Structure 1
């Protein structure tokens, strides 16, 4: 049974238990009363929305057992979609409960809503929680996220923890499914307690212990091009850090004005037990500032994260495809596969030669291990000797045996999706396609 099925089975089991709470709380017998159906729907949507909130907690806790098997991309995508379900279920809970009480009391909706929000115990807390959850949902919409900085998006999402705490206490103190049920309260405390503990250990406990052990600092900053730098990071006992080529960390550089910002950057070299290396392009304020970071700056790193590693391969024949600055994990993987003496082909896609950062290092590694390297330059509409660039004929011309290879793709989301679609059309089995999306929480 796969990890995905275990997650769905666990969610279904908790959904059944939540439904049992509703039934044991006389939910079925109250359906015949005035407004009973609406009240029942309100209670059920509230319970299911709270379960979806716990699922979000688990998905974003970055538990090593889950993250190493499913990858941060998949967990983040599921977290995002479960977040929208949380918002819709919570909104439905408010609507049904308000309409149900209105039918019971024989009042109109607006006065009933006023009574619930301002004159009912702990409903004010729930109102704040709902407002925060709606704000999180709005900032997670693709149209909104394109207009806000990563730092702003990350800061807003920290308020989600407050929303969870407020919603929890609203349920256990006023929820009909809990106030008269010691078993229900014990179950709910255990469920939320386990989720909070998982987040605290994975997101705080383990990173703090690792950073105390390794004492990371910037060793040097090397300019690769006008807007790209490579940062070398040293520390103590780095051979004990379980980092792999293809993975990434959330990095905090502890300067006076930037210590609170966390940025996800992939390793651009295979960890050697002495240094960690990242290569960063100036795409925003945070990454542009890294070009001027002084050596000696203390660094906090959370991770490593990502399932984009050599463990995913099914054989010894490998195709690595990089787009733009997505070359960083590909370069690290090439180094690891080179040491293993695998049969390697590399395709590096960039619009212009100056955009092909680390191309010289790829050439050197390819010569050392006998890999075939293709640097493909030109605009997205370019047409080459085999037809449209990165189209089926183009890739098949460069890699005639592509069907038997494990393919690792990293680049901007549009490029990654297009290349994967092309590879599927070429007959590459799904189990041999491995990708890393070069975007935050998308």
Structure 2
């Protein structure tokens, strides 16, 4: 907010009161302000997903991603407002029709053709991210579209300093503006490019083997050097990029499904799309790049000595890793795995073995609500199954519908929010 006021002050200090007189001048000034804010928020948009450790630790990648999604709509509104207001204001001043003025601006003003392409690219990304359209687009296509945002930011930059009244003849303002761009670019280069590449060299991670757990669910064992230095905890996730055909361009969030070892990590993935389905075909020896760790779905959040862990579908991966960690430190742990079919109870033999060896109880809740005739995770049934639920930390990992339904049930029982822990692995 404070930095946004600084950005608006660039317009304020470069605009005299006498120049804002008449309809054309007012429209042009509003267009200038909306353009400055749109450009500033574009940089904030990039910074939110630059993987800056201090931001991730303070807020969490899931919340940063949510802010990133919400901010996109505001940027598009400001960008469109900037174009319409500027063209309208210029048209009134020059006595031109808006369409004719738009053509004149694009074809005669410095750097404007680049800015036009950049704006159209950003609008296209926003449309692809719309709530109704997003589920219909594959993650891979969505990811590739989002890469064009970097090109958009570079394309629109030139017209700002070449035409903006805030920068032409104002070297201090221009330097401050350039510094903002350089700072964000440095964060992206360091944490999105340099450090991940450094980890590839330092840790030498490769696929060791791929194991089918249940139909459509596989575990990938990854071998490397000094993996304990990654600092990843059970329950956290990393962004994995497998250096194999079909996997190079996209990084996907998968959580650990076992406690990390100095030389091995394991993730468990359910086939839910093109990328996750292709994981089963990875070959041993494939190089692996990873960013992270991310998330707060860890034993550090459990403070009561008792925990209830509820997993739905592929959410059993982080739940299994977290259960092992909590049980190892002596906590009283109950694990509930919700599945539509008994064949979907992935990692079930491991959980049963852990229950025999440690202070751990496991329950499989199988069957759709239509088949059962009721919701087995309704508030009253949760309380009947776990009478001391109010004395436990509750960790939930699974599909959005299951998570939201369980949170409502737990709140109905009187469980305070500080005892309810969830994780959102979606970055779009």
**TM-score (ref. length: structure 1):** 0.93
CA contact 1:172–1:179 (8 Å) conserved in 2: yes
Relative to 1, partners in 2 of residues 1:405 and 1:29: Cα closer, same or farther, differing over 3 Å?
Answer: farther
How many aligned residue pairs are there? Answer: 428
Give the drift of 1:68: 2.4
The whole-number CA distance in structure 2 between the counterparts of 1:187 and 1:315 is 49
Give the drift of 1:383: 4.9
2:427 paired residue number: 441
Q: Does 1:428 align with 2:405?
A: no
The whole-number CA distance in structure 2 between the counterparts of 1:261 and 1:300 is 11
Q: Of the candidates 214, 231, 234, which is equivalent to residue 223 of structure 2?
A: 234
Q: Does 1:362 align with 2:351?
A: yes
CA contact 1:71–1:308 (8 Å) conserved in 2: no
2:386 paired residue number: 399
Instruction: Map Cα deviations across residues 28-64 of structure 1 (whole Å, 9 max, x no partner).
Output: 4322134111111101111111121111111111111
The whole-number CA distance in structure 2 between the counterparts of 1:151 and 1:167 is 25
Q: Does 1:111 align with 2:100?
A: yes
2:150 paired residue number: 161
Q: Does 1:215 align with 2:201?
A: no
Q: Does 1:190 align with 2:176?
A: no
Q: Of the candidates 189, 195, 198, which is equivalent to residue 200 of structure 1?
A: 189
The whole-number CA distance in structure 1 between the counterparts of 2:8 and 2:274 is 48
The whole-number CA distance in structure 1 between the counterparts of 2:122 and 2:63 is 22
Give the drift of 1:67: 1.2
Q: Does 1:129 align with 2:118?
A: yes
Q: Does 1:348 align with 2:337?
A: yes
**TM-score (ref. length: structure 2):** 0.96
Secondary structure at the residue paired with 2:166?
Answer: helix
The whole-number CA distance in structure 1 between the counterparts of 2:281 and 2:310 is 30
> Structure 1 stretches of 5 or more lacking a match?
1-11
Instruction: Map Cα deviations across residues 379-410 of structure 1 (whole Å, 9 max, x no partner).
Output: 134658xx631111011112222223221111
The whole-number CA distance in structure 2 between the counterparts of 1:278 and 1:433 is 24
Q: Of the candidates 389, 398, 414, which is equivalent to residue 411 of structure 1?
A: 398
1:6 paired residue number: none
Q: Does 1:270 align with 2:259?
A: yes
The whole-number CA distance in structure 2 between the counterparts of 1:184 and 1:401 is 61
Secondary structure at the residue paired with 2:234?
Answer: coil
When the two chains are superposed, the root-mean-square deviation of aligned CA atoms in Å is 1.6
> Structure 2 stretches of 5 or more lacking a match?
none
The whole-number CA distance in structure 2 between the counterparts of 1:28 and 1:263 is 52
